[in-house]
Amino acid sequence: MLSSSASNLRSDDMTLMVPAPVVVSAPAAARTGHGGQVPRSRSWLGGVVTMLAVLLVAAAPLDAKKKPKGKKSRTAADRAEIEALVRSDVDERPIAGVSVTLQGNGFEGEATSDADGRFEITVPEAAGQYRIALSKDGFASFDTELSLEAGQRSSFTFSLIDAQTGRRQEAMQTYNEGAELYQANDMAGAKAKFLMALEADPERVEAQLGLANVYLAEEDLDGARGAIERFLAARPDEEGPQRLAFEIYRRQGDLDKLAPMVESLRDTEGAANLAALVYNDGVAALGSQENTRASALFEMAHSLNPTIAEPLAGLATIQYNDQDYEGLEGTLERLAKVAPDHPRSRRLRFLLHDARNETEAAQAAFEAYHAVDGPAAIDLLYKRADLDFRESRPEVARVALERILELSPDHGRAHFTLGLVMASSDDTAAARKHLNRFLELLPDDPDAATAREMLPHLGG
């Protein structure tokens, strides 16, 4: 029987080719304006993936930072008059008690809207640009520039939005500025904008997603994790953020958190790419002898892409090395459904029967393995035979060695070991035959001196 080391898989034997390193696409900035359309977001890892689930499109209130248009009529030649209505953007009801200031060209005037939401301001000597500002508790402050001309009376209508809506629009605008900075690779600026957006509107969870992207780009995995979890707490079912969480948890090595993301993403486009990443993590864990961790990662990889054999083959290797033969048998049955001719599956099937001392089944499994990978099968059978001889099972070794020489008559090492077997059973003629053939094939082998020393004692 072979020691477990005979079937160990090196990490470099198991590594899958994977796509380019994970690159998380930049948050897409929103466009403001009446009737704006929500553009499609970008993707990452070769599959269609949504990094910002929705973009932010502001309604366009009548006052939305646009210069109000006024109707003008002639008055005294050296002054300008303003008459205006202030109303709610929501229901157009007049707003009383709005404080109004008008400044410019050395002039400063004030007014307050009356019960009908109206006010008037006269500029004695009007010329050029002025700035008007409106404010009232419970509403977002508003200011804009006006162009006034002497001798005209201008009529304006201002629509104010409530303070909460104002904060939301401010947060939306700040978020969009952050998204643009992210796309320009200004991580510090983007982070500052996203934090400002959240301060203005804590429910602007898109900013949490933006922060998660920034923190990930900065390799701040704890920061990225906190931000993405706050986003998913509000909107748990969006694929793009789930993929981002998957990448964060994978990099952190948190399998407990990774597992539910794998379950959510297993039937999505691009799941095969995620499987390759997780599989390679399993190979790395196996190389570090973290078998329990590697097993869990191989199972996750198989869940993400059940059409490839490598994750199950990796799991089966661990089970053989851990002498979990019952688990190995179940995994080999699963593997046979995915890839019935997979060389590693047939190799492990042979090793399983050999470990259980199931001679006939082991012989049949060897022949099946040899059919798909002859050189590797012969090499494995030789290692088993050599071990059997060293562990005082010469008859078992002889059967295996004779089969090797039937398949590969010039296998020098098989001739050497079979010569030792025959010498131990006092079949000196056969021993001389095989040792001489060994020296013909491998005259410089490290064991050549031993063979030469033995031959004079074998007669003939």
Domains and CATH numbers, the chain: 71-160 (2.60.40.10)
Count CA atoms closer than 13 A to 335's CA, side-chain side.
Answer: 26
* Distance, CA of 204 to CA of 45 (rounded, Å): 26
Write out the DSSP string of 120-164.
Answer: EEEESS-EEEEEEEEE-TTB--EEEEEEEETTEEEEEEEEEPBHH
Place of tokens 């562990």: 391
321 contacts 10 by C-beta, under 8 angstroms: no
Q: Could you give the C-alpha distances from 146 to 3, 49, 136, 386, 390, in angstroms and in order?
A: 89, 46, 20, 97, 100
Q: Which pLDDT belongs to residue 182?
A: 96
Give pTM, 2 decimals: 0.68
What are the tokens at 170? 């401010």
- Whether residue 160 contacts residue 141, with contact meaning beta carbons closer than 8 Å, is answered with no
User: What are the pLDDT digits (tens) for 63-111?
Assistant: 333 344 444 454 567 889 999 999 988 789 999 999 999 999 999 999 9
pLDDT computed for residue 443 by the predictor: 96
Per-residue pLDDT tens digits for 231-290? 999 999 999 999 999 999 999 999 999 999 999 999 999 999 999 999 999 999 999 999
Q: What is the pLDDT of residue 166?
A: 81
Give start and end residues of each alpha helix (H) in 253-342: 255-265, 271-287, 291-304, 310-321, 325-338
The whole-number pLDDT of residue 162 equals 85
Q: What is the pLDDT of residue 163?
A: 78
pLDDT digits (tens, 9 = 90+) for 365-394: 999 999 999 999 999 999 999 999 999 999
Q: How do residues 1-25 score in pLDDT, each as one tens digit?
A: 333 333 333 333 333 333 333 333 3
* 404-444 pLDDT, tens digit each: 999 999 999 999 999 999 999 999 999 999 999 999 999 99
Question: Which helix H or strand E contains 361, and what residues bound it?
Answer: helix 359-372
User: How many helices (H) does the chain have, and how many strands (E)?
Assistant: 18, 8
Q: Which among 337, 368, 334, 338 has a CA at the least distance from the CA of 351? A: 368
pLDDT at 64: 32
Q: For residue range 26-69, what is the model confidence (pLDDT) as tens digits? A: 344 433 332 322 222 332 222 222 222 222 223 233 233 334 44
Q: What are the pLDDT digits (tens) for 283-339?
A: 999 999 999 999 999 999 999 999 999 999 999 999 999 999 999 999 999 999 999
Sheet of 80-88, strands arranged across: 71-74, 152-160, 80-88, 118-123
Please report the pLDDT score of residue 76 as a whole number. Answer: 67
